[in-house]
Amino acid sequence: MLLVFLVAGVIWGLGALLQTPRRHRWIMLAGLYLVVLLEHFVLPDGHPIRDATGESPALWLLIGGFALLAAIYSRGIRWLKTRAQPTAASPVPEPARAGSFAEGELERYARHIVLREIGGPGQKRLRQSSVLVIGAGGLGSPALLYLAASGVGTIGVIDGDTVDDSNLQRQISHREEDIGTPKVFSAARAMTARNPFIAVKPYHRRLTEDIAEELFSEYDLVLDGTDNFDTRYLCNRAAAAVGVPLVSGALSQWEGQISVFDPATGAPCYECVFPKAPAPGLAPSCAEAGVLSPLPGVVGAMMAVEAVKLIAQAGDPLRGRMLIYDALYGETRQITLKPRPSCPVCKGGGRV
């Protein structure tokens, strides 16, 4: 029996070392348990393997029963926590919905207001604006926190995932105690803790074709912080269809990129630049290729900067340009992006 526990310990330890998600490690341990239980029912009494793993299946059945009860209890606690979280995360002072400044807000945003490019009118536009962020992960986390801190009046966030321990290396809006909680509720808590004067709308679900355009039409601006090409193309189609600017960021290992896709103003859309998704294996995900912990913070903060510029009508947003940041060598460069006349989404920089 000690041998089985030793193997289980090795599986768990190697999984932690390789940053294998906790649920995958539990699946491997469950597989080990089933193998041990099966050999007790298949092998005859006195077999060396049975002797080495406890002789009788009764003890293993008892262990399995206790483990099942513990899992059911844990799942129930997480379910109750999930049910309670939206209520706890979403209460917002009335001024946040009204678009007017509450007492104390002018002092809060004083560093914005003294900026000539933003000033009082720009801060009021931020207060009256609504921004939707797709994904509450590596890019979404810092972008959401800075949008909240900047005073964006209404912030929506859509994500179907829950917080995993492997997320905490870079997704700064989530905490250890948020593991198992839907990311949108964890992020909503972090945003309202940062700024109680804003309204947060968490959508705990995946973005799909049937809701994208209707959802995007409710917002002034969309930020795409997703990590898969299917969702990026969906965001681009929906944003172009309803005519809202799309701030898009992407990461890979030590490098990040950001651009503003806004075909309503004559700028290219995402599909103008990337007509097709890369072949499998050419653009691995962060889970496959790895990513530097602070890099999503850098690029996510840049996405928030572009959002503030667009809303406050300040400076020159990255329309028709892509900024590429190489963290390993401390370099940034920009490339010019052109509309593609044959683009099926925007017809070369014009609304569909």
What are the tens digits of pLDDT across the range 303-312? 999 999 999 9
Exposure letters 113-124 (e unless 16+ CB within 10 A, then b): beeeebeeebbb
What angle separates helix 119-128 from helix 295-312, to the nearest 10 degrees? Answer: 110
The domains of the chain are located at 2-81, 96-336
Q: How far apart are the first and last CA of the chain?
A: 67
Q: Give the model's pLDDT for residue 35.
A: 74
CA distance 251 to 145: 19
The residues that bridge with 200 in the sheet, in sequence order, are: 155
CA distance 141 to 155: 12
Q: Give the model's pLDDT for residue 9.
A: 72
For residue range 56-68, what is the model confidence (pLDDT) as tens digits? 666 667 777 777 7
Q: What is 206-239 written as a DSSP string? A: ---HHHHHHHHTT-SEEEE--SSHHHHHHHHHHH
- In the sheet that holds 199-203, the strands lie side by side as 199-203, 154-158, 130-134, 221-224, 246-252, 255-261, 321-326, 331-336
pTM of the model: 0.72
CATH superfamily of domain region 96-336: NAD(P)-binding Rossmann-like Domain (3.40.50.720)
Q: Is-contact 158 141, C-beta < 8 A? A: no
Q: Give the model's pLDDT for residue 97.
A: 44
Q: For residue 247, give Cα distances in angstroms to 256, 322, 324, 351.
A: 13, 11, 14, 17
CA distance 154 to 334: 31
Q: Give the model's pLDDT for residue 92.
A: 41
Separation of CA 332 from chain center: 24
Per-residue model confidence as pLDDT tens for the chain (352 residues)? 666 667 767 676 776 676 666 666 677 777 777 777 777 676 676 667 666 666 666 666 777 777 777 777 777 666 665 555 444 344 444 444 445 788 888 899 999 999 999 999 999 999 999 999 999 999 999 999 999 999 999 999 999 999 999 999 999 999 999 999 999 999 999 999 999 999 999 999 999 999 999 999 999 999 999 988 999 999 999 999 999 999 999 999 999 999 999 999 999 999 999 999 887 767 777 777 789 999 999 999 999 999 999 999 999 999 999 999 999 999 999 999 999 999 999 987 654 4
